[in-house]
Amino acid sequence: MKKTDQMSFFDAPVDSPSDPEAMAQALAQHPDFRVLRRLVPHSDYGPVNGQSTRRVIVLDTETTGLDSKSESIIELAMLSVLVDTATGLPVGPVTIFESFEDPGKPIPPQITEITGIDDSMVKGLRIDDAAVDELVAQADLVVAHNAGFDRPFVEARFPVFAAKAWGCSFMGIDWKKEGSGSAKLEFLASERGWFYDAHRAQVDCHALLLVLASPLADGQTGLSRLLAGVGQTRYKLRATGAPFESKDKLKARGYRWDGEGRVWWCSLASDVLLDAECEWLRDEVYGRRSARVQLEALDSRVQYSSRSGHLSERTV
């Protein structure tokens, strides 16, 4: 573009020079710019007209650290909303829950730096157990963007969560396959044209709900994808007895090394994938000799928790 062309674009009049939206729309028309708008939380997604719905809770926590066995929740936020099963879109009002809790010890400075939550904000406070129980009891699915982190924390504090089906928007959707450059929530929101002040539980929940209400590559929403997984079983396959020389093949295929159990393992989302993986192991790893692998079946009421699924062995 010539300099004169650039000048003519920026000199183009907008309806009102003081109207930020008009200026944003004008700038968005230029191929060299992307416009990000501040994410505006929705408190109501429109009327419910008797259609089939499922109730989903979008959840996020802020904690004093990473280990659910030794650290504590300092903030819990939840959005409870109905989802139209035909469209995968939220409908009706959003029930918003947010509360602080005193962890009984000083909040580490690095946590305050990340979250903005300090000791004065939580002093003497406790999350209302009855309110949490009432809200969670109504849910068909609980979703967190890193359920493997949030679920152990909330189950340790609120037993009601253990009986619920869980979905993980980080692990349960292949964002790379969807064309995203990252699975981080801030990045996913940015790709959809929003920015927000991250690392506070409630705004993270609003951001996640809007991201999951957006269409994926196949046209269905992220909410639809996660609801479809409620009845499915995932498998954790441990390649027990795999020859040492196969480690590069296993690593290249996406297996992870369990240093404590000293075994390579992978996660599989369906019976079809499990069958295919066992065939690959037989042909590429075990050299067609008889071998047995360990399986851990994880349904949506166990996966992402600290509890074990059903253990079994399978010959490959």
What pLDDT digit, counting tens, does each position of 27-56 carry? 889 999 999 999 999 999 999 999 999 999
* Distance, CA of 316 to CA of 278 (rounded, Å): 6
- Tell me, what's the pLDDT at 18? 72
Fold exhibited by the domain 234-315: Alpha-Beta Plaits (3.30.70)
> Residue 9: which pLDDT band, with cuts at 50, 70 and 90?
very low
What pLDDT digit, counting tens, does each position of 95-148 carry? 999 999 999 999 999 999 999 999 999 999 999 999 999 999 999 999 999 999
- Tell me, what's the pLDDT at 17? 56
Query: Which of 233, 215, 232, 234 has its CA nearest to residue 224?
Result: 215
- Tell me, what's the pLDDT at 227? 97
Query: Which of 146, 186, 190, 185 has its CA nearest to residue 166?
Result: 146
* Distance, CA of 103 to CA of 117 (rounded, Å): 12
- Tell me, what's the pLDDT at 175? 95
Measure Cα distances from 161 to 80, 84, 218, 267 in Å. Answer: 14, 23, 31, 23
Fold exhibited by the domain 53-228: Nucleotidyltransferase; domain 5 (3.30.420)
Sign of the CA dihedral running 144, 173, 91, 43: positive
What pLDDT digit, counting tens, does each position of 172-225 carry? 999 999 999 999 999 999 999 999 987 889 999 999 999 999 999 999 999 999
**Rounded average pLDDT over 268-280:** 94
Contact by Cβ (8 Å): 294, 313: yes
Contact by Cβ (8 Å): 169, 144: yes
Residue position matching structure tokens 């020859």: 243
> Residue 19: which pLDDT band, with cuts at 50, 70 and 90?
confident
What pTM was estimated for this model as a whole? 0.85
> Residue 12: which pLDDT band, with cuts at 50, 70 and 90?
low
- Tell me, what's the pLDDT at 2? 46
Strands 234-238 vs 263-268: parallel, antiparallel or unpaired: antiparallel
Backbone φ, ψ for residue 134 (5° rounding): -65, -40
**Rounded average pLDDT over 251-274:** 94
Write out the chain in H/E/C secondary structure. Answer: CCHHHHHHHHCCCCCCCCCHHHHHHHHHCCCCCCCCEECCCCCECCCCCCCCEEEEEEEEEEECCCCCCCCCEEEEEEEEEEEECCCCCEEEEEEEEEEECCCCCCCCHHHHHHHCCCHHHHCCCCCCHHHHHHHHHCCCEEEECCHHHHHHHHHHHCHHHHHCCEEECCCCCCCCCCCCCCCCHHHHHHHCCEECCCCCHHHHHHHHHHHHCCECCCCCEHHHHHHHCCCCCEEEEECCCCCHHHHHHHHHCCCEEECCCCEEEEEECCHHHHHHHHHHHHHHCCCCCCCEEEEEEECCCCCCCCCCCEEEEEEC
Q: Where are the domains of the chain?
A: 3-35, 53-228, 234-315
Residue 81, token pair as written in the block:
């909303």
Are 53-228 and 234-315 in the same CATH fold?
no
Name the burial class of residue 189, with classes exposed (0-12), middle (13-18) and buried (19+) by CB atoms within 10 angstroms of its CB: buried
Is the per-residue pLDDT at 7 higher than 50?
no
* Distance, CA of 25 to CA of 22 (rounded, Å): 5
Residue position matching structure tokens 């929740």: 73
What pLDDT digit, counting tens, does each position of 43-96 carry? 999 999 999 999 999 999 999 999 999 999 999 999 999 999 999 999 999 999
What is the average pLDDT value for the chain, to the nearest integer?
Answer: 93
The 10 Å Cβ neighbour count of residue 183 is: 17
Is the per-residue pLDDT at 291 higher than 90?
yes
